[in-house]
Amino acid sequence: MQAMGQHCLFDAYGIDCQWARDAKQIEALLTRVALAADATILGSHFHTFGGEGGVTGVLLLAESHLSIHTWPENAYAAIDIFMCGHHRIEAALQLLRAELQADHTHTTVLSRGTLTNSVITLDS
């Protein structure tokens, strides 16, 4: 049975703390990531927690969603990419790795919508 979609969990450690507080820059990056994956953006919402706090945000996609939560105080970001149908998740991940320039990343890709879900994990 072919998977209904893929859910990618991308953890980035050692990211730029100033970037992790900037909702506009974060939304711009996630927009480029969605386009790299050939996704169709339907809408977005981003919230800054103010002061030294981070950002939480989501792009609603015709194919599902792309979301982020940042913790600048820990130089960490958690990014989810969930896409159904035609998608190019690897292109999205390459762009994230290149632009975030994190010290370390961890990626888990889950096949969703099958009776036997497969899991792939990658570290860099």
Is 69 catalytic? The answer is yes
Catalytic residue among 64, 86, 111, 124: 64
Q: How far is CA 22 from CA 29, 42, 61, 89, 113, in A?
A: 11, 22, 22, 24, 35
Cβ-Cβ contacts under 8 Å for 43 (sequence gap 6 or more): 59, 60
Catalytic residue among 65, 84, 106, 111: 84
Cα angle vertex 62, ends 101, 40, to 5°? Answer: 55
CA-wise closest residue to 53 among 69, 28, 74, 72: 72
Catalytic residue among 17, 44, 65, 69: 69
State the DSSP code for 106.
Answer: E
Is 64 catalytic? The answer is yes
| Residues noted as catalytic | 64, 69, 84
